[in-house]
Structure 1
Amino acid sequence: MTLTALKPASLKEAREAVLDTTGRISIAGAGTAADWGGRLGPVDAVLDTTGLSGVITHNPGDMTVSVHAGTPLRALQEQLAEHGQHLSFDAARVAAGATVGGLVATADAGPSALVHGTLRDLVIGTTTLLSDGAVVRSGGHVIKNVAGFDLSKLLHGSYGTLGVLVEVVLRLHPVPKAIGTVVVECGLADAARLAGEVLASQLEPTAVEWLSSGRLLVRLDSTEEALPARLDRLTRLLGDGASVASGSSEASGQSGAGADVWAEHAALTRGDGGAAVVRIGVKPSLLPGVLEALPASTVSAGLGTGVATVSVPGRAVAEAHAAVHAAGGTSVLRCRPADLGAPAWGPPPSALAVLKAVKQRFDPDGRFGPGRFDPWEIS
């Protein structure tokens, strides 16, 4: 079967492409998360959003920026840095060229979500193209009536099943003047205890992550004048074995963060290669217990956010889903061996009927992203 390749360069071209194409459509960005979620079902066309790239409007005074959804976030950060601003978002795959729209659609996030939240919190407006050609602008002039829905929130984690995200308005923050990371060698149980002490202190860390190599990383954003004293306080709080990491971190997109340790963190979020990679989220206090029960080969765990990425054998994916579900959390399969038939999602959530209703409302013919939420059967 021959797929139709679509690469619009404007909202008008995107609308024409959707209306001129019959059948089902896969929405693709840079391809950094192509195998996340359920396996894509049969489609007739692939709509490539990377032609929808570039800044539309940057308002430095208001600390907002409007961009085309196919814009690589790495390129956007470089442009914003010229004004001393950035999007406070540090998911690992940004360095691989992930687009703004793709990061929203997959609900990805990085360590700084501890303070700044996910893109669900940083996106303040969107323009979306629906399967019938209607254009919806959330938070502004609405061309099609979708009263009662905040589409910007619904698109976060929608995996390209509701519509084509064309434009995104983002809230910005100043680039920190100085960043430092303290590292302490410890197991998960000690890391959880130390993380609790740090989070209860007045140090206000911007990231608290434990790596399965046996290291707890705590990052501070600060001024150049205040950073040394804050790092000293943090080191003393963490106790024997704690030390300040040196260097800059390309992986986090921020200088002064400690290049090697955050590069290791980024690598762990991509998994160990041959295993399946599962992203899990539970109440932070429950995360260590859930992780201890899993046959994980690698782990990166946000002890303040309750979000972790684990590599497990393919046969253990269903077990991981069940353990997270039992703890009241959520999980999704991110990467998998080509021959793995494990479920991408855990047991259906209690809100499944609502999810199906939302899908029916925005994509009644099921044109976008078939299979992404299998086995829930809503895509």
Structure 2
Amino acid sequence: MTTSLHPVLRELVLEAAARGSALRPHGSGAKDFLAQSRAGVPLDMRGAQGVIAHEPSELFINAHAGTRLREIEEVLAARGQMLAFEPPHFGPYATLGGAIATGLSGPRRMSVGSLRDFVLGVTVMDGRGRVLRFGGQVMKNVAGFDVSRLIAGSFGTLGLILEATLKVLPRPGAEQTRLLERAEAPALAGLREWGAQPLPISATLWHEGRLAVRLSGAEPALEAAVRLIGGDRMDDRDAASLWQSVREQQHPFFAGDAPLWRVALPPMAPRLPFDQPCLIEWNGMQRWLRSDLDADALRQAVRALGGHATLFRGGRPADRQRGVFEALTPEVMAVHRRLKQAFDPSGVFSPGRLYADL
């Protein structure tokens, strides 16, 4: 966000604070569905776009929050680099600010880490109209680094994201996807076995008896992994289409109106105790479930396996009112409230977007 726009934003923020009203910052709106509520006057944050700095040798890129993810990925691809966490777009106009606000990561998250792990620095405007800068441009510059990462996944509840600096990685030298026919339980067992070994697995997907395993890295490492994993090699274009469809939720599994749950589980968790359509990613740690089950019953069963569940899309109004996101413990909620008070004491930004009483 260019500094010329800062006074305009500051005026809007201070006016909302004075009136006791709320603002709802957004980019393209592609991820607005993932919210407990959408209270507040919409505030379009796409007023400034573009890459501010890209240093390939230093492995970072800095851009305005309104910059399209597609533009950033094109700039990086031209230098053989990528956003390694593969953020989903959910639309052609998805922005950097929206990606950071929601904190979502794609198929490669299992091997490289989440979006939050790649945030080096952010510039935000808080609820007092102050422009605050946290973090730096390289990993060794750790001043305020943890604060930068707090903004990731905050859904615009702490402040207006103005610009951000992300760590980038080189694209892998070689890549291929292996396809195996396996039932769910044997597939999970295989994923656990392979996950305990230093294999170049960058993504996994199980659905309806078929297990896809993407390998990324140096050619010799891929060859060694193939000898252990087996399976048939997918055509490279078909494989690219498959992973893109999972990242953007265009895979046939995601079609339809049944409620979509995202379930996070520990690596050793067994299959879910539901006879419902399921798609499994991240070596079994992320499982997508299409289910009309009662939200409380579903979450209780998931918690028994050591995980938590998010009502990602759809669902009965009563279930969404009870919480899109897993309820926090009183201790964790107290931390959230202190953060909200520090960044947004007047409650200007997106009240109730994450939790009804926050």
**TM-score scaled by length of structure 2:** 0.86
Tell me how far apart the structure 2 counterparts of residues 97 and 272 of structure 1 sit (CA, whole Å): 21
Q: 1:234-273 residue pairs with structure 2 within 5 A? A: 234-239=225-230, 242-248=231-237, 257-260=239-242, 262-263=244-245, 266-268=249-251, 271-273=254-256
For 1:264-311, what per-residue CA distance to the aligned partner results, in whole angstroms no more than 9, with x for missing partners?
Answer: 56435983331122222221112x33xx2135324233216x123322
1:299 alignment partner, one of 263, 275, 279:
279
2:72 counterpart of 1:99: no
Corresponding residue SS for 1:124 = strand
Match of 1:18 in 2: 13
- Larger displacement relative to structure 2 (267-276 or 152-161): 267-276
1:366 partnered with 2:355: no
Tell whether the 8 Å contact from 1:268 to 1:300 is kept in structure 2 after alignment.
no
Distance 1:328 1:52 in 2: 43
Which runs of no fewer than 5 residues in structure 2 stay unpaired?
138-142
Conservation of the 8 A alpha-carbon contact between 1:231 and 1:244: no
Per-residue deviation at 1:9?
Answer: 8.0
- The 8 Å contact of residues 182 and 245 in structure 1, kept in 2 or not, is answered as yes
Kindly tell me: are residues 149 and 363 of structure 1, through their superposed partners in 2, closer, same or farther at Cα, counting changes over 3 Å?
Answer: farther
SS at match of 1:184: strand
Residues 1-379 of structure 1 mapped to structure 2, 5 A cutoff: 10-21=5-16, 22=19, 23-41=21-39, 43=40, 45-93=41-89, 96-139=92-135, 150-211=146-207, 213-223=208-218, 226=219, 230-239=221-230, 242-248=231-237, 257-260=239-242, 262-263=244-245, 266-268=249-251, 271-286=254-269, 288-289=270-271, 292-303=272-283, 306-313=285-292, 315-337=293-315, 339=317, 341-342=319-320, 343-349=323-329, 350-375=331-356, 377-378=357-358
Cα contact 1:74–1:95 (8 A) shared by 2: no
Q: How many residues align?
A: 345
Which letter does structure 1 place at the counterpart of 2:26?
A: A
Counting aligned pairs with the same residue, the percent is 31
Shift of 1:96: 4.0
1:258 Cα deviation from its structure 2 partner: 3.8
Assess if the C-alpha contact under 8 Å between 1:275 and 1:312 holds in 2.
yes
Question: Structure 1 residues 246 and 140, CA, compared in 2 at 3 Å: closer, same or farther?
Answer: closer
Tell me how far apart the structure 1 counterparts of residues 26 and 236 of structure 2 sit (CA, whole Å). Answer: 35
> Structure 1 CA distance, aligned partners of 2:161 and 2:253?
25
Amino acid at match of 2:61: V
C-alpha distance in 1 between matches for 2:287 and 2:4: 36
- Distance in 1 separating the partners of 2:149 and 2:214: 28
Residue pair 2:309, 2:325 contacting (<8 A) in 1 also: yes
User: How many angstroms does 1:232 deviate by?
Assistant: 4.8
CA RMSD of aligned residues (A): 2.8
Deviations 1:191-240 (A, max 9, x none): 111112322333221112323x22222111134xx2xx55554444234x
Given the superposition, is the C-alpha separation of residues 152 and 270 from structure 1 closer, same or farther in structure 2, using an over 3 Å criterion?
farther
CA deviation vs aligned residue, 1:75-126 (integer Å, no higher than 9, x gap): 2101111112121122333664322221221121111112211111001000
**Residues 210 and 52 of structure 1, relative CA distance in 2, 3 Å threshold:** farther
